[in-house]
């Protein structure tokens, strides 16, 4: 059976990542390394989505940890503020002002919740 909850959330995550990569000029101007990491994570999302759509149990098994890990990574980005000569609060304000970043965080929570629901559904 397909893991549709997690797949939907991973699709959203890919969408928000792509929007960030395309529309955030500061990402490429100031922090290109962060952009490359985001590209890598988006690639992982694509792999997870493919596995999910093929009915693999991988997503249901590791989806919760995967989503939590990425959520921590994206929130942890705030702590790189000194790299840009700015305060944590300013950098956090900047990040949260980007709707794609907010969507990205929400979609990670969606991956966690979706994977959990898919796993529960599988047990039944």
Name the residues that contact other proteins, by CB under 8 A: 21-31, 64, 68, 71, 75, 81, 84-86, 89-94, 96, 102, 105, 109, 112-113, 116
Residue by residue, DSSP assigns 87-109 as: -HHHHHHHHHT-HHHHHHHHHHH
Q: Which is nearer to other proteins, 26 or 54 (CB)?
A: 26
Q: Which is nearer to other proteins, 49 or 112 (CB)?
A: 112
In whole angstroms, how close is the CB of 87 to other proteins at the nearest point? Answer: 8
11 DSSP assignment: H
In whole angstroms, how close is the CB of 49 to other proteins at the nearest point? Answer: 21
Cβ-based neighbours of 118, under 8 Å, separated by 6 or more: 3, 4, 5, 6, 59, 60, 63
83 DSSP assignment: G
Q: Which is nearer to other proteins, 73 or 90 (CB)?
A: 90
In whole angstroms, how close is the CB of 56 to other proteins at the nearest point? Answer: 20
Question: Rounded to an integer, what distance in angstroms lies between the CA atom of residue 7 and that of residue 56?
Answer: 11
């Amino acid at each position: 059976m397909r893991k549709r909850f997690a797949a939907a959330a991973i699709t959203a995550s890919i969408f928000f990542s792509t929007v960030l990569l395309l529309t955030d000029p500061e990402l490429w101007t100031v922090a290109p390394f962060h952009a490359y990491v985001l590209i890598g994570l988006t690639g992982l999302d694509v792999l997870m989505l493919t596995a999910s759509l093929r009915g693999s149990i991988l997503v249901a098994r590791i989806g919760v940890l995967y989503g939590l890990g990425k959520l921590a990574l994206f929130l942890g980005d705030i702590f790189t503020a000194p790299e840009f000569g700015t305060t944590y609060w300013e950098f956090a304000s900047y990040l949260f002002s980007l709707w794609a970043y907010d969507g990205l965080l929400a979609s990670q929570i969606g991956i966690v919740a979706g994977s959990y629901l898919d796993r529960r559904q599988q047990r039944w």
